[in-house]
Amino acid sequence: MTTSQKHRDFVAEPMGEKPVGSLAGIGEVLGKKLEERGFDKAYVVLGQFLVLKKDEDLFREWLKDTCGANAKQSRDCCGCLREWCDAFL
């Protein structure tokens, strides 16, 4: 599977205070919807990913329900977070 430059940039370094829109699969529209629901930073979305025990199906369903992410967007975001966890946790 090939990954986007956004994905590669995200997983290349610690998360810090990166905005939610820095996550692969999360663009301006989805980022705004997530921010409106309190998920304003990438680490807050990571927290939800971890609460769901890194379960891809549950996380992707949560992302769809929370901000309307489509299959590709949720897959990209989940993959990005999983790879980040593998590198930094």
pLDDT bin (cut points 50, 70, 90) of residue 77 is very high
In percent, the amount of the chain with pLDDT more than 70 equals 99
Its pTM stands at 0.94
Mean pLDDT of all residues in 56-85: 98
State whether residue 41 is helix, strand or coil: strand
Ordered by where they begin, the domains of the chain are 5-88 (1.10.150.40)
pLDDT tens, residue by residue, 4-50: 999 999 999 999 999 999 999 999 999 999 999 999 999 999 999 99
